[in-house]
Chain A
């Protein structure tokens, strides 16, 4: 029987009477379980910490959570937005509290288990040293983490909650109280004709824009990199410097410059190039199709240099043995490009190219700075070149449709998260994570 037991646990119990379950149960009051493990200083410290936390925050927590449910009671006096933000802070605090609480129970359980196996409880000094060692990573992550919670996570959560309220131009705090409306914003987005067509238009243009602009950008970069990489071409350094220039100049200035150059009436593209050739100017700013063409061209101008620089680096690193072997086999230039150059380049820069797509998907600057998403389209809140992110911006800061903007943000977020998930699974570093 004893042998059997030993076989089960794999180790010999030195203190079979010391029960881990009891330690864990005692830890329901933080510190007691540690006391049972005879780690009195640790237990006392934990107890005091938890007690202090509960005393300090109990009111804030209960009020915050309550406020999150009611969103304010007295019209004109309670600001629902404050209730939401306090509520979210309360939820974040509570999550931490529960996490620490669980860690406290786990700690008592683990220590008790080790004592059962004959582990000697360290003295206070060693205990401190151990705490410093295990706590160190948390300590140095701390500052960044706290900032991240407040500046990134909290605002994102706030945005998520807004999507389930009725916050718009006509019902805005502090004058009015917000209410929870469940999924009705999402329902409206898909059932009300006006919203649905706008959403579909914007989403499809966003996808077309991302795909066309980025792919052209990459294609042009590849084309130029192959041409310039030819050993017969001279002045390589000068060429590279000029080709990288659009990347080096801040994009917001160049976009504004372009938007002046494309001006319908007195932009230089119309007066200097199109009108002399075709006799008439092109409505770059007032016809959605032309605006789309213009911003795709501008984005190619802005975006190809970085990819070009990447490609040049890769091309220089491809061993000439490959090409010599291909020459001996009598391969044509196209074949060499298809079977040697292209795979090499794509393999080496794949993740960065995917990042280019995700960058353009949310490329607010060019859309907004060129023509503020315009030209306006009759009967919808989005302009002809608005992509999801710039539409959200317009809904929020120009039309004050906060809830709807938040709902669309959530959809955008889900798209982004899905894409990110796809990236994780392919990312090499996560496959290699376990190896060191």
Chain B
């Protein structure tokens, strides 16, 4: 009697312990994830500019660094923001359009060189941009696009094409061919099919691709570092990097303030659109 009574008790206890264990793990992860982010936020509210002597919870929190970024005449922060937006918008519009066209051709037409082209895309998207840096520097120098946003935009577009075209091509492949074939029978031309049938149907993946193209200039510092020279041409990431690159610990609180102003909008967008972003990437990788 006693034995049969103890068993379910044990099971219940075990389950509770288990659940407690799970919540403990989750709580520890919360701390590990949130602490660095909160720490950066706390530091950005410190009065001094140096890392040494700044506290996680400052005694007198101040928005001084944010004010400095926006209003001090020595600060180029707003110019960097504008530059980054220019680059991001141009890259998004042009690269998305070009990849749409390219993917359409690879998905719907059979032409000489198609298969090799696909192989080349797969291969090229695996090479890191860094490998081409020296040559890009010399190339942009020869055509006079060094230290120029247009040069940066062109390079971003070029490197976005292989990977994006693959994602979009994979999506186009899932759109039934009967749709465009019947349109063709009805007399629609190549371009009309592209603009009126394929593009509207591929909106989800195009949105994902556009978003990634838009975000890239906000997060990349290395390409701007090689292409851009003068501070008034910097993008945000490069400008912020230079804050800490010159004298790491002496500008840190200012860097933290600037970084938070970049990170918050991006993080919000990512959190809102995460499901689309992840499903877009999944679809592209497994179907493309």
Residues of A within 8 A of B (CB): 81-82, 85, 103, 133-134, 136-138, 140-141, 143-145, 147-148, 150-159, 162, 224, 227-228, 230, 232-233, 239, 241-254, 256-261, 263, 265-266, 268, 301, 306, 309-310, 313, 348-349, 351-352, 355, 358, 362, 364-365, 368-369, 389, 392-393, 396-397, 402, 405-406, 409, 412-413, 416-417, 419-420, 423-424, 427-430, 433, 436
Asked if residues B98 and A144 are in contact (CB atoms below 8 Å), the reply is yes
Inter-chain contacts of B154 with A (CB < 8 A): 147, 150-151
- Nearest A residue to B164 via CB reads A144
Q: Which of B39, B102, B126, B157 contacts A261 (CB 8 A)?
A: B39
Across the interface, do B131 and A420 meet the contact criterion of CB distance under 8 Å?
Answer: no
**Cα distance, A241 to B37, chains bound together (Å):** 14
Q: Which residue of B lies closest to A355 (CB)?
A: B285
Q: Which of B99, B101, B154 has the most chain A CB atoms inside 10 A of its CB? A: B101
Which of B1-9, B58-66, B75-83, B135-143 lies at the binding interface?
Answer: B135-143
Contacts A140-B102, A144-B98 hold; do A389 and B111 have CB atoms under 8 A apart? no
Q: How far is the CA of A360 from the CA of B244 in the complex (A)?
A: 24
Q: Are B126 and A351 in contact (CB under 8 A)?
A: no
Inter-chain CA distance A392–B29, complex, in Å, is: 35
| Overall SS of chain A's interface | helix
* Contacting residue for B278 out of A306, A429, A433, CB 8 A: A306
Q: Mark B198-242, 1 if CB is under 8 A from A, else 0.
A: 000000000000000000001111100010000000000100110
Please state if A242 and B274 are interface contacts (CB–CB under 8 Å). no
Contact A257 B256 (CB under 8 A): yes
Contact call A249/B263, Cβ cutoff below 8 A: yes
Q: Do the beta carbons of A257 and B36 come within 8 Å of each other? A: yes
- Is B102 a contact partner of A150 (Cβ separation < 8 A)? no
Asked whether A144 lies within 8 Å of B99 as measured between CB atoms, the reply is yes
Residues of B in contact, count (CB < 8 Å)? 93
Asked if A144 and B36 sit within 8 Å, CB to CB, the answer is no
B278 A252 Cβ-Cβ under 8 A: no
Interface residues of B in 87-103 (CB under 8 A from A): 98-99, 101-102
Nearest first, the 5 closest Cβ-Cβ pairs linking A and B are A151-B158, A155-B132, A155-B135, A158-B135, A248-B270
CA distance A355 to B90 in the complex (A): 28
**Contact status A147-B241, CB under 8 Å:** no
Shortest distance from the beta carbon of A316 to any chain B beta carbon, whole Å: 12
Chain B residues with CB below 8 A from A256, complex form: 241, 244, 255, 259
- Contacting pair A150 B158 (CB below 8 A): yes
Besides A233-B23, A266-B249, 14 other A-B contacts (C-beta < 8 A): A148-B124, A153-B124, A155-B136, A227-B25, A243-B29, A250-B266, A257-B39, A258-B36, A263-B51, A310-B278, A368-B222, A396-B134, A413-B131, A424-B119
Q: How far is the CA of A415 from the CA of B270 in the complex (A)?
A: 33
Q: Contacting B237 at CB < 8 Å: which of A250, A261, A393?
A: A250
A428 to B124 CA separation, bound complex (whole angstroms): 19
Bound: A133/B177 CA distance, A: 17
Q: Which residues of the partner chain B approach A369 to less than 8 Å between Cβ atoms?
A: 241
Q: Is the CB of A309 within 8 A of B278?
A: yes
From A246, which residue of chain B is reached at the shortest CB distance?
A: B33
The reply to whether the CB of B69 lies closer than 8 angstroms to some CB of chain A is no
CB contacts (< 8 Å) of A246 on chain B: these are 33
Closest Cβ of chain A: how far from B168's Cβ, in Å? 11
Known: A151-B154, A256-B255, A260-B252. A248 touches B131 (CB 8 A): no
- Is B197 part of the binding interface, using a Cβ–Cβ cutoff of 8 Å? no
Decide yes or no: A228 and B111 within 8 Å by CB, A244-B271, A250-B266, A416-B126 being known contacts.
no
Q: How far is the CB of B244 from chain A (nearest CB, A)?
A: 6
Instruction: Give every chain A residue within 8 A of B271 (Cβ-Cβ).
Output: 241, 244-245, 248
Chain A residues closer than 8 Å to B19, beta-carbon distance: 230, 232-233
Interface string of B262-288 (1 = CB under 8 A from A): 110011001100100011011001111
Q: A250-B219, A253-B240, A258-B36 are in contact. Are A151 and B133 (CB under 8 A)?
A: no
Given contacts A248-B267, A250-B237, A252-B237, contact A257 B135 (CB under 8 A): no
Q: Judge whether B162 and A365 touch: CB under 8 Å.
A: no
Tell me if B74 counts as interface (CB < 8 A to partner A): no
Known: A138-B111, A301-B32. A151 touches B122 (CB 8 A): no
How far, in whole Å, are A37 and B135 apart by their CA atoms in the complex?
A: 46
* 20 A-B residue pairings within 8 Å (CB atoms): A138-B105, A144-B99, A144-B102, A155-B136, A155-B139, A162-B134, A241-B271, A244-B274, A248-B267, A248-B271, A251-B219, A256-B241, A268-B56, A306-B278, A358-B126, A364-B222, A365-B222, A424-B119, A429-B287, A433-B115
Who on chain A is nearest to B194 by CB? A140
B185 at the interface (CB under 8 A from A): no
Choose among B111, B115, B127, B244 the residue with the greatest number of A CB atoms under 10 Å from its CB: B127
B26 surroundings in chain A (CB, below 8 A): 224, 227-228, 233, 239
Interface string of B23-53 (1 = CB under 8 A from A): 1011001101110110110000000000110
- List chain B residues, Cβ under 8 A from A348: 286
User: Is there contact, CB below 8 Å, between A140 and B52?
Assistant: no
Q: How far is the CB of A274 from chain B (nearest CB, A)?
A: 15
> B138 touches which one: A81, A137, A412, A417 (CB < 8 A)?
A81
Q: Report chain B residues within 8 Å CB of A228.
A: 22, 26
Indicate if B187 sits at the interface (CB-CB under 8 A).
no
Q: Does B68 contact A (CB under 8 A)?
A: no
In contact, B127 and A242 (Cβ under 8 angstroms)? no
Residue of B nearest to A419 (CB): B126
- Chain B residue nearest in CB terms to A410: B131
User: A301: which B residues are within 8 A, CB to CB?
Assistant: 32-33, 36
What separation, in Å, do the CA atoms of A248 and B23 have in the docked complex?
23
Distance of A108 Cα from B261 Cα, bound (Å): 63
Does the CB pair B134–A263 fall under 8 Å?
Answer: no
Q: How far does the Cβ of A409 sit from chain B's closest Cβ, in whole Å?
A: 5
Chain A residues whose C-beta falls within 8 Å of the C-beta of B190 in the assembled complex: 133, 136
Question: B162: which of A148, A156, A245 is its contact (CB, 8 Å)?
Answer: A148
* Pair B39/A268 contact, Cβ less than 8 Å: yes
- Determine the chain B residues whose CB is within 8 A of the CB of A147 once the complex forms: 98, 154, 157-158, 161
> How far, in angstroms, from A152 to B160 measured CA to CA in the complex?
10
B274 contacts A309, CB within 8 Å? yes
Report the separation of the CA atoms of residues A258 and B262 in the bound assembly, to the nearest whole angstrom.
17
Instruction: Select from chain A the residue with minimum beta-carbon distance to B237.
Output: A252
